[in-house]
Structure 1
Amino acid sequence: MSGGYDLNLFTTPPDCNFLCSVCHGVLKRPVRLPCSHIFCQKCILRWLARQNTCPCCRKEVKRKKMVHVNQLRKTIGRLEVKCKNAEAGCAVTCALAHRKGHQDTCPFELLACPNEGCAARVPRGGLAEHRQLCPRGGRQRCPLGCGATLGPAERARHNCYRELRDAWSARQTRSRALLQSLLRRVRRVHRTTDLIRRQLAQLGNFLDEDDAALLRAAPEAEAASDGSVVAELWGPRGQGVL
């Protein structure tokens, strides 16, 4: 891409001293090298990225030695140029430095249709008419920023405060319903927890009763065991075995 201004932009051919030797366009942000040759800033930086010599005389160049030529830039800024929309019908000419200001008001400047969903680009001068005929112009977002999309009839009676209040009320209703649902679930969890706790307590009592029964049965079993051992030792009729 060229770093300078296109020659066709100017109403009369610029002086050859205003041309860049790299892009052959009119100098844009001109900078002078130590060897006195002048180039567009963009062009020379792109050149020096490949080699560190002057494009004209091939002398070695150090970027720190480059100087902006502000006076030349002001002179070029006074050259007469055509509007960039000249081919579309704009006949205005102005100084290069004022070209951007003209574009901001030029009736031939293409603008995007502000209607949501419309991709058309129309000249600034015909934008008002396009908005009236635009098929997407039936519904538009509220200009006050509440976020509502409104048709022509709705815009006449639209009230942002009322819309936001109703939206807030609806959100509060949904929040309360969600909170009540969560509370019901928490209550069910509590009931289930209590039931499990009671069942565990019953199971513990049952195990405690089994342990007590085993403890009562242990001495009786031990006594019976001791009696059988004595009987075996003494034999029948109280006579000792030994």
Structure 2
Amino acid sequence: MRLPCSHIFCKRQKTCPCCRKEVKQKKMVHVNKLRKLIGRLEVKCKNAEAGCLVTCPLAHRKGHQDSCPFELMACPNEGCTSRVPRGNLAEHRQNCQHGAHQRCPLGCGATLCPAERASHNCYRELRKAWCQRQERSRTLVLCLLRRMRKVYRSANHIRRQLAQLGELLEEDDALLLGAPQEEAEAPPRRQHWG
């Protein structure tokens, strides 16, 4: 930023760091040519003291830092506060005391030890469990269908028997109702006294 006093600095402040004059935001001017020039300056990686030998333009430093093997990274294991270089992170995770049992990073909820994490595939396991449930559901549906057919056959059999019973009762009623009329029409019998 160029200040009204003609001094140029990288960060905005309320006063000029050289002459201490008060600076208003409206009076600050971006110096784009200077920004581009500074961005092209070759700089060492911020991890040079840790062993990184890379030098790159200042504008690209952040990009390198995001992949630098010497950049310190926090251990992703729950409870571990270690910060290790990115290049050593995989080895650290394998030997980390806090990595003994971790939840599945994909979210299935399984707690895994380091040996299990290498072969864990919750999608495969969930698919297998889903297929087993589907098979169990099919079996239950077929069992229910068989039972429904059996109930249907039994209900039809009972209906037929009730219909036959109803017909028998009607015949008996007809016989019972018809018997007194026949007796009334027949001549009376004489009884003999012995």
Question: TM-score, structure 1 length as denominator?
Answer: 0.45
Q: 2:76 aligns with which of 100, 114, 119?
A: 114
Aligned to 1:33: 3
Change (3 A) 1:36 1:132: same
Residue ranges of structure 1 left out of the alignment (5+ in a row): 1-30, 48-53, 167-242
Structure-to-structure mapping, 1:116-195, within 5 angstroms: 116-152=78-114, 155=117, 156=119, 159-160=125-126, 162=129
- Counterpart residue identity of residue 63, structure 1: Q
CA distance 1:66–1:135, change in 2 (3 Å): same
Number of residue pairs the alignment of both structures matches: 127
Contact conserved, 2:45 with 2:53, CA < 8 A, in 1?
yes
**C-alpha distance after superposition, 1:132-151 (max 9, x if no partner):** 21222222221221233222
Q: Displacement, 1:58?
A: 6.4
1:68 aligns with 2:30: yes
Inter-partner Cα distance in structure 2 for 1:127 and 1:33:
45
**Structure 1 residue aligned with 2:46:** 84
Q: 1:115 to 1:57 in 2, by over 3 A?
A: closer
Per-residue CA deviations over 1:114-135 (Å, capped at 9, x if unaligned) read 1222221111111111122122
Cα distance 1:64–1:131, how it changes in 2: closer, same or farther (>3 A)? Answer: same
Report deviation, 1:56: 4.3
Inter-CA distance 56–131: structure 2 relative to 1 (3 Å threshold): closer
Q: How much has 1:100 moved relative to structure 2?
A: 0.4
Query: Shift of residue 101 of structure 1?
Result: 0.5
Q: TM-score, normalised by structure 2?
A: 0.55
> In the alignment, what sits opposite 1:170?
none
Identity, % of aligned pairs? Answer: 75
Which 4+ stretches in 1 moved above 6 angstroms? Answer: none
RMSD (Å), alpha carbons: 2.8
* Aligned-pair CA distance for 1:71: 1.1
Q: 1:160 to 1:150 in 2, by over 3 A?
A: farther
Matched, 1:99 2:61: yes
State the Cα distance separating 1:59 from its structure 2 match.
6.0
Structure 1 residues 133 and 68: alpha-carbon distance in aligned structure 2, compared to 1, 3 A threshold:
same
Match of 1:9 in 2: none
SS of the equivalent of 1:38 reads coil
